[in-house]
Each structure stands twice: as C-alpha cells, then as structure tokens.
Amino acid sequence: MSPILECRNLTKKYGGSYALSGLNLTLERGEIIGLLGPNGSGKSSLIKLAAGVLQPTAGEILLSGKAPGAETKRFVSYLPDRSYLGRQMRVSEAVDYYNTFYDNFRPERASGMLDSLEIDRRARLSSLSKGTLEKVQLILVMSRDADLYLLDEPIGGVDPAARDYILQTILTNYNENATVLLSTHLISDIENILDRVLFLRGGQLALNASVDEIRTEYGKSVDTLFREVFKC
C-alpha cells in the first residue's frame, strides 16, 4: 500500500522566498504526527499543498500515490487555520453541507460532539465566538472517516479547557489506520498524543523522529528539544 503522504523534492516559492525547498518526506498510516517549526518554516504551506489549495512550484506531493485532486479529497479531511464556513450559515446547515458532499461524514458523530459542547445547532456561525467557531469546524472535520486528517493550528484560538476536549476529540475520532498531521506552536499541550514529530526549518526537514526516539535518544521532551533546535 502506498504511503499516505509522500513529498518528492517539493518546493513552494512565494515571489522570491521559499516556503518549502526540495522537501522529501514519507508519512506512513496510523500515526498522529506533529508538524512543528517556527513561523514561516513552511508548515501551513505543506498542509495546503496536501489539501490541494496550493500548487507546488516544483516537485510533487502524493496522497496514497495520487496527486491532490477530487479523488484524494474524498479521503483527506482538512482543517484550515482560519474560518472557512459561510458566516451566514447556521450550525445545522454546516452539518448538512458536510453530510451532502462527503460520503464518509458521520452526522451522528457530529451531533454527539455538538451536544457535549452544548453548541446550539440553530445559531448562525457569525454569532459564535472565535473559540466556538473553531470547535464547530474541528467537529465537522473530525466527523469524517478520513484516511488523512490535516489540522492546521487546531487549538490555537481556544482556551486550555477546550484544548483538552479537542485533543480528546482527535484521539477518539480517528481510526487506527488513519493518519493525523497537525501543526501547532502549543507543543506541550499536544506532546502526549503525538506518535511522531516533524521539525521544519526554512522549508526543509530538520528532524523526523518518533516521540519515543526523542525521549530515549535525546532524553528530552519534544517541547524542550524544539526550544533547543529553534533557539533564537
């Protein structure tokens, strides 16, 4: 079976600067992977390229052996780092939208999570707080039975208590063959759920190691290692 994500000499250039520069990477199935790096290291660009909302300048990115397209979007569930739902929509309409377009969307799972977070289905998205909107978006993304979840800063805008719920949501809603690739700056919050971490620096891979390897070989937590590697 092809790896869930493969980058071959992947390059993305914005004007004169490189977001990703000749990145080679292979991700296998069934892992929760932290995509870590300082601002401008290329984390969001890599996720956007995998989601198919950005085109590479050179090289290629393959998802289950296929270039991003209509077919890969069936099994990739993407959470962008911004609000992406029509603001005039109601929560229930957003759920209907996902249910209409994605065969692998599980409305009962979304309902359960909306209930446990006491989110009003009739509320318009424009009336929700930033944190609640992020929760709704994450619920929709995690209510799909996807093979690859791409989560760009899923816990950036929510309070610490909600972070725990969100991380729990991620843990309980992906199957063992699925892969979760999530980018964040809040390393200590997510460290415990990660199987592997990728450090990106200047659009290139600085480290690709399992969390166990980091603990045994470096004798450090991911957070401590990150601070050392990216010390200003």
Partner 1 sequence: MLRKLIKFDLKSGARIFLLLHGILLAVGLSGRLLFMNHLDFSEATPALVSSIVLFASLTLFLLMAVCFCTWLLIAVRFYRNLFTGEGYLTWTLPASAVEHLWAKIISGIIWYTLDCLVVAAVILMLVTGQNVTDAYSVIAPEVTAELGMPLSTFGLYLFIVMIISCFSSVIMTYFCIAVGQLFPAHRVLCAIAAYFISGLIIQAVSMGLMLLLKLFPGINLSILNGEQLAQYMFSAITLSIAIMFAVSAAEYAAVHYIMKKKINLL
Question: Which residues lie near partner 1 (CB under 8 A)?
Answer: 14-15, 48, 51-55, 69-71, 73-74, 76, 78, 80, 82-86, 88, 97, 100-103
CA distances from 113 to 129, 143, 202 (A): 17, 9, 38
Distance CA 65, CA 114 (A): 35
Q: What contacts 24+ positions apart, CB below 8 Å, involve 213-220?
A: none
Written as six digits, the tokens of 13 are: 């250039």
Give the sheet arrangement for strand 196-201, strand by strand. 76-79, 148-152, 179-183, 32-36, 196-201, 204-210
CB 86, min distance to partner 1, A = 6
Q: Give the nearer residue to partner 1 in terms of CB position, either 78 or 199.
A: 78
Which of 43/48 has CB closer to partner 1? 48
SS3 43: helix
Rounded least distance, CB 47 to partner 1, Å: 11
What is the smallest separation between the CB atom of 11 and partner 1, expressed in angstroms? 14
Shortest Å, Cβ 178 to partner 1: 16
